[in-house]
Amino acid sequence: MTNLVPVINSSGKFKLATPLDTYLNTDITYKVIANRSIREMVDDGLNVLNDVYLIVNLTEDDYNTDLTNNIIITVLRSDSGDTYYIPSNKFISIPDITGVRYIQKTMAINLGYLPIDLDLDYLLPEVTDLLQSLLGVTPNASIIDTSQITIYTDKEHDLFNTTRTKNITNNETCISKLIKLQAILDAMRDKEIILVERLTQLEG
Phi, psi of 187 (to 5 degrees): -65, -40
What pTM was computed for the model?
0.50
The neighbouring-strand residues paired with 84 are: 76
Neighbours of 16 (CB within 10 A): 19
Name residues whose C-beta falls within 8 Å of residue 190's C-beta, 6 or more positions apart in sequence.
none
Give the DSSP H/E element, type plus range, for residue 35. Answer: strand 30-37
Q: What is the pLDDT of residue 204?
A: 62
Write out pLDDT tens, residues 34-47.
999 999 999 999 99
Q: What is the pLDDT of residue 185?
A: 87
Pairing assessment for the beta strands 30-37 and 83-87 based on DSSP bridges: unpaired
Provide the pLDDT for residue 201.
79
Along the 204 residues of the chain, how does pLDDT read in single tens digits?
A: 568 899 899 999 999 999 999 999 988 899 999 999 999 999 999 999 999 999 999 999 999 999 999 999 999 999 999 999 999 999 999 887 666 767 789 999 999 999 999 999 988 988 998 899 899 999 999 999 999 999 999 999 999 999 999 998 887 766 677 778 888 888 888 888 888 888 887 776
Residue 204 to residue 202: CA distance in whole angstroms: 5
Q: What is the mean pLDDT of the chain?
A: 89
Per residue in 170-199, pLDDT tens?
877 666 777 788 888 888 888 888 888 888
Give the count of alpha carbons within 13 A of 157, CB side only.
Answer: 10
